Amino acid sequence: MSENYPRITMVAALPGLVLRLEFSGEGERIVDLSGMAAGKWAALAEPAVFATARVGEYGGSVEWPGILEVGGDTLWRLAEEQAGRAMSPADFAAWLDRLGMSLTTAAKELGLTRRAVAYYKSGGRTIPRVVMLACRGVEHDKSAR
């Protein structure tokens, strides 16, 4: 995983393609995968298959044996985004487009490195709530001018 994400210690498959995950030292998170049950994830739409979810090796993933494995970093990011504690890469890219900002300009506006902004845009790093709020502040300031 690209960041130091907490390890998954427990997974429970709930109705509606929802996972209840326990992350070491971070507590419980809920992840709704219903919007992803297409393409390579299509097999998960079958309730009997979805119910076979188990914690992967060393707590680094959730796996559906012989079907699919999803990294803990992806599940952590989705849980944080769905709970409003993080910004999605798509929302961050849309923010950049709305304001017509390059990665360099965005980095200066947000007080971040260009590399961090590039990671956020590509989905390589979880965009924390503080950056999400800073984006809103920058956009508000620019619209008030």
Cα 144 off chain centre by: 31
d(CA 24, CA 7): 5
d(CA 76, CA 82): 10
CA dihedral (25, 30, 35, 41) in degrees, to 10, reads 60
Name all domains of the chain by residue range, CATH numbers in brackets.
Answer: 8-71 (3.30.2020.10), 86-144 (1.10.260.40)
- How many residues does this entry show for the chain? 145
Q: Between β-strands 27-32 and 18-23, what pairing exists: parallel, antiparallel or unpaired?
A: antiparallel
Q: For the chain, what percent of residues have pLDDT higher than 70?
A: 98
Single pTM value for the model = 0.78
42-58 pLDDT, tens digit each? 989 999 999 999 999 99
Q: Cβ contacts of residue 66 below 8 Å, gap of 6+?
A: none
